[in-house]
């Protein structure tokens, strides 16, 4: 199997009916970068910058942050990298940062909420990213955004840092794209507005599932109760794909569902032409999509979603996948 996937490394990621799909990797450490060449991925679709902070014994300095980003750019050797700003709080606690007692940390002071309340922290990170990019293209996205206003405020921090750096003679990124993670359900009802503001949206299905179904993603007793291939989740995903496409905004998926072949089949069929996943998932997903007739599966899903009842499409999709290679 492994060898079979290795052979697919240089095969273009195009479905049987001609849909080009961009397959990228999720990463968080420098040691993840060699997987780019091993898998033939198109880039890093999610770089979790908090990992550097979580494994450190004290707050990484601005220089240390920039050092890591420089190294990531060097290792990626020209392939695009999407950096996500610090996604801390919730279950990702930094031992050296004063923590606040919270009844519900998953719903608490975390991610972009901390970034906007402590702009010094977020600005230092943004500055490090801008400096590391130098004259190269740069993509930044913000985690746990719940309102358009949060994105606008984060974007204006980026603008301030750009102005500051160019005043001081630094070379700015040749192309800067700013995106949002779509992982808080409130954004589903601001799709038109957020698509007009952001350059791209990246669906964080791990948290989106958690908040849509009100299930703690770390609690096995409840986490597997609901299916990402269930009607409500697929309706939400279809809405994202359609509205993003209508607005000309790129929509990708970087949650774990993008790395599971059956779920990836549904995502591509619904119109997500860009997925980011763990390195081990890329081979299986690519093998699946090379055999996929995206339009046929898309028609099947859309037809099922129009019908009443039926909780999960998994059995139907599995049957379809098995009878169509």
Rounded to the nearest whole angstrom, what is the least distance from the CB of residue 179 to Mg ion in the complex?
Answer: 14
Residues numbered 10 to 69 that lie near ligand PEP (CB under 6 A) are 46, 48
CA distances from 154 to 115, 141, 149, 198, 227 (A): 8, 10, 9, 11, 33
Single out the residue of 43, 90, 179, 204 in contact with Mg ion (rule: CB under 5 A): 204
Concatenated DSSP letters of 120-185: HHHHHHHHHHHHHHTTS-EEEEETT--SHHHHHHHHHHHHHHHHHHHHTTPPPPSSEEEEEEE-SG
Q: Kindly tell me which of 49 and 66 has the beta carbon lying closer to ligand PEP.
A: 49
Given ligand PEP, Mg ion, none, residue 205, with its beta carbon under 5 to 8 Å by kind, binds ligand PEP
Residues numbered 176 to 195 that lie near ligand PEP (CB under 6 A) are 183
Any contact of residue 256 with Mg ion (CB under 5 A)? no
Q: How far apart are CA 10 and CA 303, in angstroms?
A: 35
Single out the residue of 206, 230, 243, 278 in contact with ligand PEP (rule: CB under 6 A): 206
Any contact of residue 207 with Mg ion (CB under 5 A)? yes
Neighbours of 221 (CB within 10 A): 8
Any contact of residue 87 with ligand PEP (CB under 6 A)? yes
Q: Kindly tell me which of 15 and 236 has the beta carbon lying closer to ligand PEP.
A: 236
Single out the residue of 124, 254, 288, 289 in contact with ligand PEP (rule: CB under 6 A): 254
Quick one: which of 81, 88, 69 has its CA closest to 144? 88
Residue 191, classified by CB atoms within 10 Å of its CB into exposed (0-12), middle (13-18) or buried (19+), is buried
Any contact of residue 278 with ligand PEP (CB under 6 A)? no
Q: Kindly tell me which of 71 and 93 has the beta carbon lying closer to Mg ion.
A: 93
Specify which residues 221 forms β-bridges with.
Answer: none
Any contact of residue 263 with ligand PEP (CB under 6 A)? no
Contact criterion met (CB below 8 Å) for 86 and 122: yes
Which residue stretch of 69-77, 94-102, 199-207, 314-322 sits at the interface with ligand PEP (rule: CB under 6 A)?
A: 199-207
Rounded to the nearest whole angstrom, what is the least distance from the CB of residue 306 to Mg ion in the complex?
Answer: 30
Contact criterion met (CB below 8 Å) for 170 and 140: no
Residues numbered 233 to 252 that lie near Mg ion (CB under 5 A) are none
Q: How far apart are CA 40 and CA 43, in angstroms?
A: 9
Binding site for Mg ion (CB under 5 A): 183, 204, 207
Binding site for ligand PEP (CB under 6 A): 46, 48, 87, 183, 204-207, 254-255
């Amino acid at each position: 199997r492994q060898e079979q996937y290795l052979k697919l490394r240089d095969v273009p990621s195009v479905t049987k009916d001609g849909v080009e799909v961009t397959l990228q990797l999720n990463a968080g450490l420098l040691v993840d970068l060699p997987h780019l060449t091993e898998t033939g991925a198109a880039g890093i679709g999610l770089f979790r910058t908090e990992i550097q902070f979580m494994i450190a014994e004290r707050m990484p300095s601005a220089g240390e942050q920039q050092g890591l980003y420089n190294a990531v750019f060097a290792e990626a050797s020209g392939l695009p990298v999407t950096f996500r700003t610090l996604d801390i709080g919730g279950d990702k606690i930094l031992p050296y940062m004063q923590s606040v007692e919270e009844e519900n940390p998953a719903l608490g002071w975390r991610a972009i909420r901390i970034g906007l309340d402590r702009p010094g922290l977020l600005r230092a990170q943004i500055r490090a990213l801008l400096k590391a990019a130098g004259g190269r293209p740069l993509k930044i996205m913000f985690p746990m955004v719940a309102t358009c206003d949060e994105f606008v405020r984060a974007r204006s921090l980026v603008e301030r840092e750009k102005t500051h750096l160019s005043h001081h003679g630094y070379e700015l990124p040749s192309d800067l794209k700013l995106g949002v993670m779509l992982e808080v359900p409130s954004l589903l009802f601001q799709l038109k507005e957020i698509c007009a503001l952001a350059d791209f949206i990246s669906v964080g299905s791990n948290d989106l599932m958690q908040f849509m179904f009100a299930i703690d993603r770390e609690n096995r007793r409840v986490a597997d109760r609901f299916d990402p291939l269930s009607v409500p989740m697929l309706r939400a995903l279809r809405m994202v794909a359609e509205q993003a496409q209508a607005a000309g905004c790129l929509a990708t998926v970087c949650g774990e569902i993008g790395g599971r072949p059956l779920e990836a089949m549904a995502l591509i069929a619904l119109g997500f032409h860009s997925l980011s996943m763990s390195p081990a998932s890329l081979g299986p997903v690519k093998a699946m999509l090379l055999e996929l007739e995206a339009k046929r599966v898309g028609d099947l899903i859309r037809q099922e979603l129009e019908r009443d009842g039926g909780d999960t499409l998994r059995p139907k999709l599995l049957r379809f996948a098995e009878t169509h290679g």
